[in-house]
Structure 1
Amino acid sequence: MLPSYLLSLREGLEAALIIGIVLGALQKIRRTDLAPMLWYGTLAAVGVSIFTAILLTVFGLSLEGSAEQIYEGITMFIAAGLLTWMIFWMSQQARTLKTELEADVNKAAASRNGRALFWMAFIAVVREGVELAFFITAAFFAGSTENVGANTIQTLAGVVLGLSTSILLGWSLFATAVRLDLRRFFQVTGFILILFAGGLVAHGIHEFNEVGWIPNIIEHVWDVNAIVDEKSVLGELLKTLFGYNGNPSLTEMIGYFVYLAVVAVFFQRSNTKKIVTVAQPSA
């Protein structure tokens, strides 16, 4: 439940920020009459996102044997790639997001029927929603597939709680005096999600080890299942969060640590560069 909660909180807050900025821009130019088109676009995007998540999950559950392992492996890699891109994109675009959205709103408001605003809201929100659909699907398959019912309930509970929290935070940011340090929030959640993405990479390599697409080199580097069984409650939690495997292959561990090292370095440099740039006094 925790991975789906964190993912839903992060994606949901990004969507809430976008909606809040657009609503504020409409109020600024006195075109609140276009607000319904914003909500129509948002609801349409939510519907597409839910359909995508259901389709991806149901299709994956319908597969068996090597086809299931290949599908899960591909899903893990796609989700890890999207998650990495999302972390860096938000880190780079956070400063200019409001300005760019307000400019888009001004252009969309020039349309008499409001269709431009509908599509602007739809595209902005569906991007977050489809990304979340891939992440939730990956988190679902990273969890226990032996008890599908319990895994489904936990995943859905995490999604509902995460989105509810993001809506509450988004409303607080724009309707009250509450202020959230968004830069720190995205830094902390970004670091946690990097660990989660590393687990997805390792899990994807594990699935491809099973079908022979990636060699093991060494089948089991170690076996610590006697200490923390990957099928225990703690093991399942660590597996879902960080891709824990009690007896990983050598390529699985290489992929995991190489990903973490490379992405963590670039993430730290990105945040350091941004802090330095903001701190420099203007001439």
Structure 2
Amino acid sequence: MLVPFLIMLREGIEAALIVGIIASYLRQTGRGEWMPAVWIGVFLAAALALFVGGGLELVSAEFPQKQQELFEGLVGLLAVIILSSMVFWMRKVARSIKHELHESLDAALAGSKNQTYALIGMVFFAVAREGLETVFFLLAIFQQSEGASAPIGALLGLIIAVGIGFAIYKGSMRLNLGRFFRWTGLFILVVAAGILANSVQALHEAGLWNHFQTVVFDISAILPMDGPTGSVLAGMFGYQDAPTVSVLTVYVAYLIFALVLFFLPQPRVVSLPTRPAHAHGHSSSVTNK
């Protein structure tokens, strides 16, 4: 439950932050009448994410066993790629995302004959990115979990993220977004290593990868995967009590490479001034990360 909860919380806050920045800027610049277009973009993006997630889940349920393993492995690999790029993208643009959204918003509303559609499209693509990232991650987690705990955790994370996003927008909460995304990004990389290891195992069970299958060690007698602690570790970090050479190598290699990149110092970026507001408005409580 904890992994889908934290991921949904992070992705939900990220999406809420984007919407909050857009809404605050529209309000500050006297363009609050465009808010219905913003909500249309948000709802369309959410509908797309639900449609894609539900469709993939229904389709995969009809697959025979080997095809299900293959699907699980491919979805896991895609989830790792998306999650990794998400973490490093957010780390790179955290300081400039507010300015970039303001520029995109001004461009969408500047002189276009179809301003409403331009704004809906801009919000849709910004939010849909977060939604589709979440869909592929949750698919990988749900396929590697049993019971209702994972969906419940994801739902709780979404509910809390919406509440936090609304509180940030209204100004009643100030969240250290830089620290939040840094620590959740680190957690995501560890989770992604486990998903990658499980994907390699799924590809083996699908008959697609049969190399380096020697078991490195077997601690199933000490910490079995089907025990209380083992099942928690397996659900959170992809723990295996008898990993093969390929599974362990992929896990360790990815984790080392990702953590080295994560802790490399970021190049200094000169922050650009935000264009002044066109009309009166109170200052936004959404802070740069």
Q: TM-score, normalised by structure 2?
A: 0.88
Stretches of structure 2 that go unaligned for 5 or more consecutive residues are 271-289
Is the Cα–Cα contact under 8 Å of residues 31 and 109 in structure 1 kept in the other structure?
no
- Partner SS state of residue 6, structure 1: helix
Q: Is it true that 1:169 corresponds to 2:164 in the alignment?
A: yes
Of the structure 1 ranges 107-116 and 178-187, higher mean CA displacement relative to structure 2 is found in 107-116
Q: Is it true that 1:234 corresponds to 2:224 in the alignment?
A: no
Residue aligning to 2:279: none
Is the Cα–Cα contact under 8 Å of residues 215 and 251 in structure 1 kept in the other structure?
no
Residue aligning to 1:27: 27
Whole-Å separation in 2 of the counterparts to 1:34 and 1:217: 57
Q: Deviations over 1:187-231 (max 9, x none)?
A: 100111001000011001111222343234243211111122212
Whole-Å separation in 1 of the counterparts to 2:171 and 2:105: 23
Choose the corresponding residue for 2:220, options 212, 217, 225: 225
Of the structure 1 ranges 247-256 and 206-215, higher mean CA displacement relative to structure 2 is found in 206-215
Is the Cα–Cα contact under 8 Å of residues 202 and 253 in structure 1 kept in the other structure?
yes
Is the Cα–Cα contact under 8 Å of residues 92 and 266 in structure 2 kept in the other structure?
no
Whole-Å separation in 2 of the counterparts to 1:121 and 1:61: 32
Q: Deviations over 1:146-165 (max 9, x none)?
A: xxxx2xx2222112111112
- Following superposition, the deviation at residue 25 of structure 1 comes to 1.2
- Superposed CA RMSD: 1.6
Choose the corresponding residue for 2:127, options 116, 125, 128: 125
- Partner SS state of residue 215, structure 1: coil
Amino acid at match of 1:249: T
Residue aligning to 1:138: 140
1:1-283 matches, cutoff 5 A: 1-110=1-110, 111=112, 113-144=115-146, 150=147, 153-269=148-264, 272-273=265-266, 277=268
Amino acid at match of 2:154: V
Whole-Å separation in 1 of the counterparts to 2:60 and 2:230: 23
Q: Deviations over 1:28-86 (max 9, x none)?
A: 22111110010011011101101111112222222122211111111110000100000
Whole-Å separation in 2 of the counterparts to 1:60 and 1:219: 30
Stretches of structure 1 that go unaligned for 5 or more consecutive residues are 145-149
Whole-Å separation in 1 of the counterparts to 2:20 and 2:197: 37
Aligned residues: 268
Whole-Å separation in 2 of the counterparts to 1:124 and 1:25: 15
Whole-Å separation in 2 of the counterparts to 1:105 and 1:35: 12
Whole-Å separation in 2 of the counterparts to 1:246 and 1:164: 34
Of the structure 1 ranges 74-83 and 110-119, higher mean CA displacement relative to structure 2 is found in 110-119
Is the Cα–Cα contact under 8 Å of residues 87 and 185 in structure 2 kept in the other structure?
yes
Whole-Å separation in 2 of the counterparts to 1:117 and 1:58: 33
Q: TM-score, normalised by structure 1?
A: 0.90
Is the Cα–Cα contact under 8 Å of residues 142 and 151 in structure 2 kept in the other structure?
no
Is the Cα–Cα contact under 8 Å of residues 194 and 237 in structure 2 kept in the other structure?
yes
Is the Cα–Cα contact under 8 Å of residues 216 and 249 in structure 1 kept in the other structure?
no
Of the structure 1 ranges 215-224 and 246-255, higher mean CA displacement relative to structure 2 is found in 215-224
Higher relative contact order (CA 8 A, sep 6+): 2
Looking at secondary structure, tell me which structure has more helix per residue: 1
Q: Deviations over 1:212-271 (max 9, x none)?
A: 4323424321111112221223222211211111111111000000000000000000xx
- Partner SS state of residue 114, structure 1: helix
Residue aligning to 2:273: none
Is the Cα–Cα contact under 8 Å of residues 57 and 139 in structure 2 kept in the other structure?
yes
